[in-house]
Structure 1
């Protein structure tokens, strides 16, 4: 499959860039969608462009033969300074510490020759780019000159992950979408230009805005008959905003674990935490008529609480993100466009998608009432009791039982002793998918026990759930945990996932064999006894042997049997095993195969890398599967795939040809 060139986006015209302006008003147009029957949401798009861990950035400051250049110290400060406005600080805050940009040091021989950065700064390269070309500078040309200068300085491409170039030219900036290169053609007045362009590297195209939407019977109707403004979103640096990156970008970059974002799956209440706080960060609803997602995030305004609100976007998510923000102000003027959020009491409806949403409250977190498929909006203050699924009624548990169940996404759960609600055993929060799980604060006594649970949303509380009685037995010893993946003597990537089984609720610790002090990670076994330790630090290539122990009820098990495997650095193309070559399938085929555990596999139409059929995370055993989201027309198809390991891409896999036949569904 042919690799494709990433899109390049410019910031703004030279005058806007140098003056620090954020955007220019764009021509207005009217958007009218065709009516189409709504379908229930099915699966979510997995983040497409994971970017985590330590990423090395080479900053090259180009100067011309006549000495013209941008200010190296200002550029470096805007990128890597300790100021919270610098790109490094901005990315660290947006990713909640999961992505760190580290400047690459210039070799001492180059510094001593006087060709390194000003003021003795050894973490950027100042290079002579020769004679300034007539007219505007070319993006690819500037990157080539920077790479050539780096090679001459002894800095090979393997020594850096990102290449940032600053040169004095026509103004503005360009970046790959997604990608690992940025060129600025002037001196920005603030770090905004770097934050804007790095948003493109993360995979976000210039967002737009729906505004001046109809208000009918107190409900904002969208997006039909809304006005569209291009390149503007005050909540996204790639749209001129001065806030941290939005939740949909964080999902795309794999900064949100899967417990913090989910599909809206039915009529009911949903809770959103403030962007960056613990708890659900993002809900998505797929609009089948144009295959976009309607996304919801909450931003709290501590200085002006009444401005706290829900940000709604229509996002096309594939090889990149293209979003259009929905402005909640009817007949919005320029000032109102800077405050587009839906505040408490406001309603939104998309008739084509058959989705209606009311913002119930916007306090520490926000509550949404959601109605689908023409259902009535649920009452904001009607909270049903949560479900308690484990321990099972009449079952036997350890003195540290795992309490788990379902509830309103984002609600607070309280577990108490039956008939004694003042005896609080545990508290936790329901995740974005409506699931919760928690251990008791302390060891419970042996014998018969009974518990009940309730859920809270701010000051409102549900009734108590039915009592669940079970028996607690104290363990004299605990068995060793079992390691199930990686399989014995198999190959894995630099970030293997080690997984297995243990006692429910036990804390499992994994170490190098015969080196109990060299811990690789730990994880808690869930209610089914399953655990997984995804390594966050890469392992060097070579042969490894690991073991695990579990701790529960103040007891530690023996070490498990050693598990041998081999770590390799090469990221080979994933393998597609289904459908088989020349097979016939229905119009929503299941595509599956093998790849490196922990990688994200994306499936494309062959030679059409802009046509994404789906993405999936690879499990600890190296297996992945994707159910094509939208029904495909009958006919002949050819697909390919590639895997992404923390931002590092494999080659495309071999094409697999198959045929879709309608009557096979």
Structure 2
């Protein structure tokens, strides 16, 4: 069956809540303080027990009360601190003069004439007092204030008997209620709202029953009233019970259990990393949410009392303490005297295993609840919590047969071996057998919303490296914060803490799966800094001060006594402008491009962990200057009037606003520098304004200019001369006309047309113009143009007939080429100045040697003429439309298309040093019909000589073998070359025939390292050679003598070798006819210097 709603009110010893005392009357004018004795307790309100009362640490909501002289009275929560329920206390009361006895004080408090000031606290003892076993009494006091309900003393007695039988059964006779007294109905005054103390006091008074206590219980029954939002109320522990018209036994049994000192049977809902688990450090409690007499209601006798609460009562016989390696047989929980529970001690609580089948009293358990159940009891607590041993099943709570559970913080694993009619067998094992505690974690680290050194703001996350336990592994970590321990699972290596105040010490200890804790990590200290710095004070700019694009913000520094000020943040209208470090008390800021006007500057100090001070503010007026355009001009044209301007210097605008006669007309982009005043406005003068606008909409001053809008053309001018039919001569026509008129923009210009083609444009003040016109009949027209460019209609057609005299054009003049030009091209470009003819020209003819070679139109003044070799004449003939011609002066030009003729060069041996080669005289020449302008010679690629003529002769040296190249260029630019080899053969003197006495010499100064000398007159050297030239190579010296040279036995020279010392010298050179010849050198024997030296000969072919 499903549980049904009901409400109980319970007086408990361990609960939370605030009692709201009823309003009191005005105290008497004269009062004093007195102390009386009383008994302290707490009243707990049991709301709907059919569903959980809330996800909270405890579902018990209490109000403190005190009983003085059998009168129950509210006790202020502040006076109840530290008091032990069901204990005697001393109550300090402010009461009227003369009120001293407990009865007088109780009556005065009840009437609002006195008030409780304090109560002497007693140290909080165990949550449940001793002495609950044995015989109890139960007195039932039925009362009403309107009318009794249908219950009789008989029916009330039945429920009282069931209550007594229940507790005798659940305690195996340990707690009995042999004396039950049920009184008849009695009427009492209607209480204010649901004043249960008033109801209790009135019931005791009307029935004449003394105050209850923990052994003599009083149950006050009254018809159900909606003013009381509960079903039952009771002291925990104590003897008073209230029942709000509920006659089922479970409520009476439940409230009697509270009198015995029991709290609620709750459920525990735990998660680990978002997954549902049986037990963890992250759990919530659902009040009443257990199918137990102290939990859900069932509208009948209550469920069985669980073994955890039985242990609180002291009626749990022989529980088994869990130990590794044991197999425990658990009978059903209803086997009161048997060992029906296994206790598993944990570091911070105790677990109770029991076997509760869904039979008998417990048949109403939902599916998944019947079986082995596990409950938790906290030290000193009187409330149990059933664990979810089958998280995957959702609503199931029992540990099914064959299931195992590793108990957190212990080395134990519980396994349900089997379940049968006789009970359940549970095996308790230690699967790890780990005797070594895990190592200490490394020092933890921390991070807050902001972190700086030891300081942190906001929630703080503590993290540590994973600890490895090679045997049983890590089951969890104990995080000690200022001595308070929090346990997290072994898979979690961090813990988020609430914001820290002041200094907090933190360490971490690892716990392995065998339940052994290792050494603690090094302790760290976190200093919570959640206090913002003091607010800075802005000293500049002053409130209301005008600023432009930038400003310097100054302030008085903020202070921070904890982590210290880190920086300042400056905002404009909430938008960041600048951030500066803590040492600054001023900052230059640049304002964004926004509209001018009042703006709010704010300054915030931010400490090292991110706490922000109260903002300092100042109001400034942003007045950003925008530069106006310059140089406005207005120029009319046929489509209106064009306004132009020059863009501002410096920062460029985002655009321009155009105003006409003071009213905004349009906007144009920043790239525009002109705008047209056009249709849409009346003709006449207007004032056009232009102002620059930045991207934020700020505008400059307006620059203006006057402009005329003229959409009507001027009046028509009249031609006054020449007269119709007039004849003009020399192709000159003088045109005269009357003035046109335009009242808006005036006359800017006149256009004169000849034969409907514009021939001239003159200013608006001009009335006459002289035009050159060709022969024949012509039509002349004059058009007026106003200041905006609009044109009048053309004047009436005037036929002017004239005859031009037959005059040939003035001759052209050839400017290029110049007369006498010599060219090697096969054509020439001819250029001339134009011929002049009043009636115009028809064409030009270019004459070559008197005959037309090229014809071009009258506008062309250049032409290319082909040329052949030889001398030619050029002329330009101008031809007018009448066929009359004029011819320019002639220009002569010669075309030379052939290069010059180069003669074979001649090489003559000569005297001189042979150190750089053979000394020679080189002669080269060339001839051309039109002169040679340049000639050059090179030996083996090395230039030797150049001459600006047709011949060159140069003394030079040549190597023994050389290739001569002679290049000649004629005056027309044609080029010819000639290449000739030259062989100059050296011959050693030893190849000749010596007569007389000769001495052989050697040394580096001689050719080939050797030479021969003779000093005797008549000594001779003869040598036969083939060629045309021969040279004697020897040495000069101041002591050298003379020798006679014979060529083919003919004396040709006497050579005196005396001179400055020099070797390798050509002492003589001679020429002859081609063929074989003999040269002979004969020593003269000059007195005092007879020696002559021969170092070799050179022969030229």
Question: Shorter-chain TM-score category?
Answer: 0.3 to 0.5
Higher-helix-fraction structure: 1
TM-score by length of 2: 0.26
Which protein has greater RCO, CA pairs closer than 8 Å, 6+ apart? Answer: 1
Larger strand fraction of residues: 2
Which structure would you say has the larger Rg?
Answer: 2
